[in-house]
Each structure stands twice: as structure tokens, then as C-alpha cells.
Amino acid sequence: MEVMQNFIMRPFGLYRAFSVRIALVLVVALLAGCSALRLGYANGDTFVYWWLDGYVDFTDEQKPWVKARIDRLFDWHRKTQLRDYAQLLGQVRQRIERGPTTAAEVHEDFVAIRKRASQVLEKSVPELTDLALSVQPEQIAHLEKKFASNNEQYRKEYLHGNIDERQRLRYKKVMKQAEYWFGNFSSEQEAQIRRASDARPLDYEVWMAERQRRQQEMIRMLRKIQAERPSRDVVSNMVQNFISRSFENFTYAEHKAFFDGSTEGMAQMIATIINIATPEQKAHAVKRLQKWIDDCHALAARD
């Protein structure tokens, strides 16, 4: 699951937000980089429920309707979105086959994915609204503890070592993903990828500040709903506002140069990887993309 999240979606930081994660998992279930796409997508509703329950700890009253809403959301997604994904994947496949790729074209892919994630989010607002209205004080406390645990794990993984060690860690993650797509690389290719990876801005402290701001905003929103019990329309607007701000990054104004540089650097790095790939490596990527395209059509046609 982390392949496409880190390789393409990470520039927007979308998967960090709680409500965004609910919707993005529908996209990620498709673009997961796993060898069994149909199996992964078929079990996506179970994964979403399991993931949410780990944060919220659903009550017996919540469990049935949460499961039913997730099932309906996946059914809508399968019937209305997958053929469009197949078309997007086909465009990426054609570009790899065609020849050199520019960073601007990769950035267009970011925008296209963002647009599709936004469509899923918009569809999920009613479900997120009902969930926000049903959350109890003890569940908010459970959510805070989960956030704290996740943050501690993030610190252990990313906020240690010097700049060289952090660059190397990031590069290793890039290579794992690149090798999934294209197969093995030569030492010369790896050196080029390392340079492109290191050229990107690196500041895990900024990402930490961003994730904490998102978490704090969510906790404040849920506490406000719990204390004031506003109307459903008001809560819906609150949820939509949270989602919109998540798309733009809560700390964007403070760290604009970093976020913009991260997006640009990621696009340039992906373009570099595509452009240095040999015909055999490109054929490897095209084969994987075609498998996804076929799976998209097969899933969409399922009764």
C-alpha cells in the first residue's frame, strides 16, 4: 500500500489527514502496487473499517452502520470511478512507451490523482459527517492516544540521525518503490536516482509539524461538535472545511517554499527515473500498468 502513497501522493501530504485517509484508501486500494490488485480492492472495505476502528474504537451501536456506509462507498467507487482510473493509467503507460517524460507531465499526474481523490472525498462527506456527530468523548481520547502513538513511531523512524543518514533512508525507500515499477537498476542508474532523491528538500520536522497540526485541528473540531451539538449542516461544513485545508496543507503558509519544492523535486525525480530506464525496464513498468488497467475494467464490470 505504501508504494503509491509515498511515490506519488506524498507531495500533497494527503494521507496524513484522518478524513482524507478514509477516502484516499479507496484510491490507494487500486493504486497499491501490490501483486494482487483485485484481492486488495475486494478487501478494501474491510481494511477501511479495521483502520478506522483502530483510531475510533467503534461502539456496538456504530459498527453496523459504519460497515454499511463503507460498503456503499466502495460500491459507488467501483461502479463509477474505476474506468476513469483505467484511462488515467493508460495515459501514463502511453507516456512511458512514447519516450522522454518531463517533470511538468509528472506534476499533471499529481493534479489528476488529487482531482480523483477530491471526488471520493466529496462523496464521503455525508459519512464523515455522521461519524463526527456520533463520536463520544472517550473515543476522542482514544483518538488522541492513537495520534500520540503514531507520532512517536514517526519520530523513531524519521527524526533521528544526521542529514546524510536521513537522505540515505529516504533514498532506500525510493529505490524500493522504483524497483517495484521498473525492476533492477545498474549502479550508474542508482547513482542518478540518488542525486535526484537528494536534490529534493528534506525536513522531516516540517512534516511532523504538519501532521500534528492536522491532528490538533481534528481533535478541536470533534470536541467542538461534542460540546455544542451543532446541526448536521453545520457539521458537514466543518468537515468540508477540514478536508479543504488538508488538501492545501495546514502549515502551507508557514512552509510554502518547502512544500512547493517537495512537489517539484518529487516530479523531477520521477521523471528522471522514467527517463533513465532501459527499454526492458520500461517494458516491466508497462506490463504492471496494463495489469492494473485490466483489473480496473474487470472490477468495474463485476455485478
Whole-number Å distance between alpha carbons of 187 and 167: 18
**Are the beta carbons of 205 and 154 closer than 8 angstroms?**
no
- Looking at residue 77, its pLDDT comes to 86
The pLDDT confidence band at residue 22, using thresholds 50, 70 and 90, is very low
Which are the contacts of 226, defined by CB distance < 8 A and separation ≥ 6?
A: 135, 136, 137, 140
The pLDDT confidence band at residue 48, using thresholds 50, 70 and 90, is confident
- Looking at residue 116, its pLDDT comes to 84
Higher model confidence: residue 2 or residue 249? 249
Domain spans of the chain, in order of start = 2-301
The whole-model pTM stands at: 0.85
107-145 confidence digits (pLDDT tens) = 998 888 888 888 888 888 898 899 999 999 999 999 999
- Looking at residue 51, its pLDDT comes to 81
Residue 302 pLDDT more than 50?
yes
Residue 23 pLDDT more than 60?
no
The pLDDT confidence band at residue 38, using thresholds 50, 70 and 90, is low
Residue 242 pLDDT more than 70?
yes
CA-nearest of 46, 99, 42 to 276 is 99
- Looking at residue 193, its pLDDT comes to 97
CA-nearest of 47, 100, 92, 56 to 74 is 47
**Are the beta carbons of 146 and 51 closer than 8 angstroms?**
no
- Looking at residue 46, its pLDDT comes to 82
CA-nearest of 120, 124, 75 to 299 is 75
